[in-house]
Each structure stands twice: as structure tokens, then as C-alpha cells.
């Protein structure tokens, strides 16, 4: 009996036959997440229903020395939930109980498999909602959101997942159940909750999540403004933020992204636009009305040639339909594409967009830009045709060059999609060896055996005994060039 067979037998005893998959054909369903160009068929897939079952599954893996990878809905875009061929995929999507909706404390408690939008559905009759809204919010799960620290269009005003999680129960990589944070906004001791959120399954698996609920705004107003160029739309964005207005969202799409959205969902955006902005304000009616006038003026002053104001929820939904379907829509104008995810200071927008255009032109690659303009989180869509020799490689090059551009402008290699499998190789472009070693030391503190989602996030995974940094040599003063003191 192989190790995997023995482990499968153990897990069947604990979880029941129907919640352990080992059939090769059935396993294939789980070979990738939303980043479909990496594919690995896992050795086993299991579905815990409770924290105790999840802990038991992890302990069984540890006992067998088998790596494990947690997966929620599998919508991630960085390959964070890519399985291991020699490992177990622990799928939390059946842990979908909403444990508590407590509007009086502005909190909800949910299991990790609960769908993002379902938290809002459960809370909205009480006048509250869950603010972080990835484009995939109809299908992505809270557990996955926690693992990747997911963002969304409205994170400009409301912050990322990490700003909305106040407590988690986790299964550590050793199979212990531990609580980090709680209901209060700021627990004593180390804030390990912050380190856990966004750790992409490398520090353990969330089995229960306490999130903040936000009061539904009294008023929401949305406008769509068409500009001759991304420069003009960028200038309007800077003017709005520079004036101290913080809209719930400022989203930009360039001409190619608009073309794709029109082809897919017929959203009827203004014709001839070099860029559109969707600006949404929410809050108390008095504030929204007053600020809306400013936003409209900033758009006109910066060259908007058409401004539409959503008359009702239906029109508002139509504005958003084009934006939220933009990634998928690109499939209408290109057989293949890479969704990139970089961040730059907002003030660098015009310069970086120009340079992206130049890089794309130099390599003969088309790049559509759809992004959270308000916080400088770019999503360039690099188009290619995998059936044409060399196109995939050129697209990959352009994609990497765009990240370098973000870094050289003081930005970051990922805004909200995570590092996962896809961007581990770029980490040394942002961090020094000492910086990465410091992260690895924490990794090793949680997971000395390296079994919890190995191969993700870090560019050169090492055995934990090999990580230098805090444990290094005996003569620190000599290292500091002060040997002459002795």
C-alpha cells in the first residue's frame, strides 16, 4: 500500500467515503484554479465540514509526511491553490455555514466556504453588508478571500480583506486549532491575524472567519465619464482624489478594454472614447450630493466629452456590467490573455500607461487596460494567441516588463491577486534577501516541515534549517565592519 493509499484509507475513516476523492478522472476537476495555465492533478481531494475534521485531515497529512494545499472556490488568479501531485487538496467549499450575523456589533461569523456575496445577502435585511467585493464575488469564498487578501472595486474607500477580518480560527500546519484576533478591533499581543490574512495557505487553513459588517449607505450615485485618452481620465482621477474626495470606486477602462466589453455584454459605453471612468460615491445623501457636483466638474475640467449619471439601479448595474465582465470579455477579442496585477502610486498613472503602450508596441503585443484607478491598482490584460509560435513567450515578456515598470515607479507586483505560484519568481525584485528571509523565518515557525502549500509565495523555498537571517554567525560586529573595535 502506498503512502497515499494509506492516507486515503485514514481520511475515509474520518470523513466518510463520499468526501475523499481518489479517482483520477474526478481529481482532474481540481487540477487548477482561476489561473488555468498551470495544471497539476492532486493525489487526493478531501472535503471537511467542520474545523475538527479539517484539523484531523491536516494531522493525517503531517503524520504521513504528505504536503497539503487548501482551496476555496478555486477562483484565484495567481495559482495560490494549485495542487501538488504528491499532495492532498483540502477543499473548504462545503464548510458554508453562516454562523452568526450580529449587526449590533457590526460583525458576522462565517465558515470559510461561504460565498462572498452571501455574507452581504444575509446581512442586508438588517441594513449591513460585507464591503470587499472582488469581481468574482458571486462565486469566490471568504476562505479564499482571506488566503489571498482579496480586493475589489470598492476597496478604494473601504480597504482590502485584511481591513475587514477581525478574527480567525485556523488549523495550523501542525493540525492545531488556534484563534487569532477576535471580535474587538485590536487584540493584545502580536497581530498574527494580519500576517495570516494574505499568507496564501502557507501558515494554515482558516476554519472560521469573523468579519466586519458595514452599514448600507444611505445613498449611492454612479457616473460614467468618457474621455479622449487615458491621460485625461488619469488627470481627472488625480483631481478627484487630490481634492480630498474618496469615492467608493474609481475604475478606468481603455479603448481596447471598452471594445472587448462591448463585444461581450453590449454595455453601450460612449462611442469614440479613449478611456472611460466609472466613479461611484456612497454615504450619507447630503455628502454624496455635494461631492457628486465636484466629481462631475473635475471630469469636465479634464476633458470628459460625455458624462452619464445612473438614473436608477438598473442603469447603475449596466455601467458596472461592462467593467465587471471585462476580464472574461477579453476572450471575445483574443483567444488567450494574461491578467496582470500591479500597483503604482496614483500620481505615476499617466507615465506608466504611456510606457505600457510603448512596451506593447515594441513587442507587437496588444494590451488592454482595466483598473482600479483610484488606488493605482492596474490590471493590464496582455493578449496573445497560443496557437501562434512565440506569442505566449512575448506576452509573458511584456507581462514581466510591466511588473518591472510598477516596481521602478515605487509600486508592487500584486495589488490583490496574490503571489501564489505565478509571481514567486518576482519576489526578489521587490525584496532583499534579508527581507525574504524574515518572512521565511515566520513560515518556518508555523510550518517547520514545509508541508502547508509548499512552493508558493517564496522564490527559493529552502528547508527551514537552511534559512539564515536571525540565526546567523557569531560575530555580528565583524559583519558590520566593526571588527577593529575588538
Residues 245-274 that bind a second copy (CB under 8 A): 245
> Between 391 and 437, whose beta carbon lies closer to a second copy?
437
Sort strands 214-215 and 177-181 into parallel, antiparallel or unpaired: unpaired
Q: Which one of residues 104, 364, 387, 465 is an interface residue with a second copy (CB under 8 A)?
A: 104
> Between 361 and 445, whose beta carbon lies closer to a second copy?
445
User: Beta-carbon neighbour count of residue 358 at 10 Å?
Assistant: 10
Sort strands 275-283 and 342-343 into parallel, antiparallel or unpaired: unpaired
The verdict on 219 binding a second copy (CB under 8 A) reads no
User: Beta-carbon neighbour count of residue 345 at 10 Å?
Assistant: 13
Q: Which one of residues 8, 10, 132, 352 is an interface residue with a second copy (CB under 8 A)?
A: 10
* Cα–Cα distance for residue pair 343/414, rounded to 1 Å: 6
Cell of 176: 492545531
CB 50 to a second copy: min, Å: 13
The verdict on 97 binding a second copy (CB under 8 A) reads no
* Cα–Cα distance for residue pair 310/318, rounded to 1 Å: 9
Residues 177-216 that bind a second copy (CB under 8 A): 177-180, 182-195, 197-199, 203, 215-216
> Between 16 and 284, whose beta carbon lies closer to a second copy?
284
Q: Which one of residues 138, 448, 460, 466 is an interface residue with a second copy (CB under 8 A)?
A: 448
Residues 371-430 that bind a second copy (CB under 8 A): 375-376, 410-416, 418-419, 423, 427, 430
DSSP for 86-116, written as a single string: TSEEEE-TT---EEEEEGGGTEEEE-TTSBH
Q: Which of 279, 270, 266 is nearest to 239 (CA)?
A: 279
CB 391 to a second copy: min, Å: 27
* Cα–Cα distance for residue pair 453/202, rounded to 1 Å: 5
* Cα–Cα distance for residue pair 77/148, rounded to 1 Å: 10
Q: Which of 407, 439, 453, 378 is nearest to 33 (CA)?
A: 453
The verdict on 463 binding a second copy (CB under 8 A) reads no
The verdict on 439 binding a second copy (CB under 8 A) reads yes
Looking at the DSSP bridge assignments, the partners of residue 382 are 338, 367
Residues 285-314 that bind a second copy (CB under 8 A): 285-287, 289-291
> Between 15 and 89, whose beta carbon lies closer to a second copy?
15
The verdict on 121 binding a second copy (CB under 8 A) reads no
> Between 308 and 409, whose beta carbon lies closer to a second copy?
409
CB 69 to a second copy: min, Å: 18
Interacting stretch for a second copy, rule CB under 8 A, among 33-41, 284-292, 305-313, 325-333?
284-292
Q: Which one of residues 244, 364, 390, 465 is an interface residue with a second copy (CB under 8 A)?
A: 244
Cell of 192: 498574527
Interacting stretch for a second copy, rule CB under 8 A, among 267-275, 352-360, 390-398, 470-478?
470-478
User: What sign does the CA torsion over 15, 447, 415, 283 have?
Assistant: positive
> Between 12 and 363, whose beta carbon lies closer to a second copy?
12
Residues 124-183 that bind a second copy (CB under 8 A): 127, 149, 151, 159-160, 162-163, 172-180, 182-183
> Between 231 and 375, whose beta carbon lies closer to a second copy?
375
> Between 2 and 432, whose beta carbon lies closer to a second copy?
432
Where are the strands (E) in 35-87, listed by range? Answer: 44-46, 68-71
Burial of 137 (C-beta count, 10 Å sphere; 0-12/13-18/19+): buried
User: Beta-carbon neighbour count of residue 40 at 10 Å?
Assistant: 18
Residues 339-368 that bind a second copy (CB under 8 A): 343, 345-347
Amino acid at each position: 500500500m502506498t503512502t497515499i493509499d494509506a492516507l486515503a484509507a485514514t481520511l475515509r475513516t474520518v470523513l466518510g467515503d463520499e468526501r475523499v476523492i481518489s479517482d483520477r478522472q474526478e481529481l482532474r476537476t481540481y487540477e487548477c484554479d482561476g489561473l488555468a495555465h498551470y495544471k497539476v492533478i492532486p493525489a487526493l481531494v478531501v472535503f471537511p465540514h467542520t474545523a475538527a475534521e479539517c484539523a484531523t485531515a491536516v494531522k493525517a497529512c503531517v503524520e504521513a509526511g504528505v504536503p497539503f494545499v487548501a482551496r476555496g472556490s478555486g477562483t484565484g488568479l495567481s495559482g495560490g491553490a494549485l495542487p501538488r501531485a504528491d499532495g492532498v487538496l483540502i477543499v473548504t467549499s462545503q464548510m458554508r455555514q453562516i454562523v452568526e450575523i450580529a449587526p449590533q456589533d457590526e460583525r458576522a461569523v462565517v465558515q470559510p466556504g461561504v460565498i462572498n456575496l452571501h455574507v452581504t445577502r444575509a446581512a442586508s435585511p438588517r441594513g449591513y453588508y460585507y464591503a470587499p467585493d472582488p469581481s468574482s464575488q458571486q462565486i469566490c469564498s471568504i476562505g479564499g478571500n482571506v488566503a489571498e487578501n482579496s480586493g475589489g472595486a470598492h476597496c478604494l474607500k473601504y480597504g482590502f480583506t485584511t481591513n475587514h477580518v477581525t478574527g480567525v480560527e485556523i488549523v495550523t500546519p501542525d493540525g492545531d486549532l488556534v484563534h487569532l484576533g477576535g471580535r474587538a478591533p485590536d487584540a493584545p499581543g502580536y497581530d498574527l491575524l494580519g500576517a495570516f490574512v494574505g499568507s496564501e495557505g502557507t501558515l494554515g487553513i482558516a476554519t472560521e472567519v469573523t468579519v466586519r459588517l458595514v452599514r448600507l449607505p444611505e445613498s449611492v450615485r454612479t457616473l460614467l465619464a468618457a474621455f479622449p485618452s487615458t491621460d485625461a481620465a488619469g488627470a481627472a482621477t488625480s483631481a478627484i482624489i487630490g481634492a480630498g474626495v474618496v469615492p467608493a470606486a474609481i475604475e478606468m477602462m481603455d479603448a481596447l478594454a471598452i471594445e472587448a466589453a462591448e463585444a461581450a455584454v453590449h454595455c453601450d459605453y460612449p462611442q469614440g472614447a479613449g478611456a472611460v471612468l466609472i466613479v461611484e460615491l456612497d454615504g450619507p445623501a447630503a455628502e454624496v450630493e455635494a461631492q457628486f457636483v465636484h466629481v462631475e466638474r473635475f471630469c469636465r475640467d479634464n476633458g470628459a466629452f460625455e458624462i452619464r449619471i445612473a438614473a436608477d439601479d438598473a442603469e447603475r448595474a449596466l455601467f458596472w456590467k461592462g467593467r465587471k465582465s471585462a476580464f472574461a470579455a477579453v476572450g471575445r477579442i483574443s483567444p488567450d490573455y494574461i491578467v496582470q496585477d500591479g500597483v503604482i502610486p496614483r500620481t505615476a498613472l499617466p507615465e506608466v500607461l504611456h510606457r505600457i503602450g510603448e512596451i506593447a508596441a515594441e513587442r507587437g503585443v496588444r494590451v488592454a487596460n482595466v483598473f482600479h484607478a483610484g488606488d493605482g491598482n492596474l490590471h493590464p490584460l496582455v493578449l496573445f494567441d497560443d496557437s501562434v509560435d512565440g506569442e505566449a513567450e512575448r506576452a509573458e515578456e511584456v507581462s514581466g516588463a510591466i511588473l518591472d515598470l510598477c516596481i521602478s515607479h515605487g509600486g508592487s507586483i500584486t495589488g490583490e491577486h496574490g503571489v501564489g505560484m505565478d509571481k514567486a519568481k518576482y519576489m526578489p525584485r521587490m525584496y532583499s534577501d534579508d527581507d525574504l528571509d524574515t518572512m521565511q523565518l515566520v513560515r518556518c515557525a508555523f510550518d517547520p516541515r514545509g508541508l502547508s502549500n509548499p512552493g508558493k509565495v517564496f522564490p527559493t523555498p529552502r528547508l527551514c534549517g537552511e534559512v539564515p537571517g536571525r540565526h546567523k554567525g557569531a560575530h555580528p560586529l565583524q559583519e558590520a565592519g566593526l571588527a577593529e573595535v575588538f
